[in-house]
């Protein structure tokens, strides 16, 4: 079945409010996590035109590149490395207003200026992270963290 995203307009909050129920209905009847991550990355990108939006999944002691939208990216990130590996290690959302000021930031793309990484869980364990990059500094705030964590909960497993 073809899926079309309703155009989200207005403030950041209004766009997330339009997007979230659509993401919920996109993923509710699909059990495959890769398929759901792929559509979530596409929906986020279509709505916000970020520089990069996608997932890394935990495999052993590394994060491995998974569905994304945007330019080519690093394929593997170690536990505690970069923003993604730190969000995994600390099991929490990390907002980075200025990537140059984050010690150990991994520059997959020199164009990225700010970033947010949100963990996805299987039980209490981090199973993956959602990573979003912007070419604008300070692009992400508590509103992004709030809504992206709601999206993360939709993709997380008990």
- Positions touching ligand SME (CB under 6 A) are 52, 73-74, 77, 82-84, 105-106, 108, 112, 115, 131, 133
Write down the least CB distance from residue 126 to ligand SME, Å: 14
CB of residue 82 vs ligand SME: minimum separation in angstroms? 3
DSSP track, 120-145:
EEETTEEEEEEEEEESSTT---HHHH
DSSP letter, residue 5: P
In whole angstroms, give the CA distance from residue 44 to residue 54. 9
Which residue, 74 or 145, is less far from ligand SME as judged by CB? 74
Q: Which is nearer to ligand SME, 36 or 66 (CB)?
A: 66
Least CB distance to ligand SME at residue 145 (A): 16
- Smallest distance from ligand SME to CB 102, Å: 7
CA distance 125 to 3: 32
Q: Which is nearer to ligand SME, 33 or 115 (CB)?
A: 115
For the chain, state the CA radius of gyration.
15
Return the number of the residue (108 or 155) whose C-beta is nearest ligand SME. 108
Count Cβ atoms within 10 A of the Cβ of residue 103 and give its class: 0-12 exposed, 13-18 middle, 19 or more buried. Answer: exposed
């Amino acid at each position: 079945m073809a899926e079309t995203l309703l155009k989200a307009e207005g403030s950041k909050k209004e766009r997330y409010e339009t997007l979230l129920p659509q993401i919920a209905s996109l993923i509710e009847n699909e059990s495959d996590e890769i398929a759901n991550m792929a559509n979530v990355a596409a929906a986020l990108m279509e709505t916000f035109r970020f520089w990069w939006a996608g997932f890394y999944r935990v495999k052993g002691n590394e994060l491995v590149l998974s569905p994304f939208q945007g330019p080519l990216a690093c394929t593997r990130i170690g536990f505690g490395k970069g923003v993604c590996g730190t969000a995994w290690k600390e099991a929490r959302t990390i907002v980075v207003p200025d990537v140059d000021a984050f010690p150990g930031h991994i520059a997959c793309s020199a164009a990225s200026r700010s970033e947010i990484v949100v963990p996805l869980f299987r039980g209490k364990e981090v199973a993956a992270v959602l990573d979003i990059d912007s070419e604008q500094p300070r692009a992400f705030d508590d509103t992004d963290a709030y809504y992206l964590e709601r999206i993360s909960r939709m993709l997380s497993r008990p």
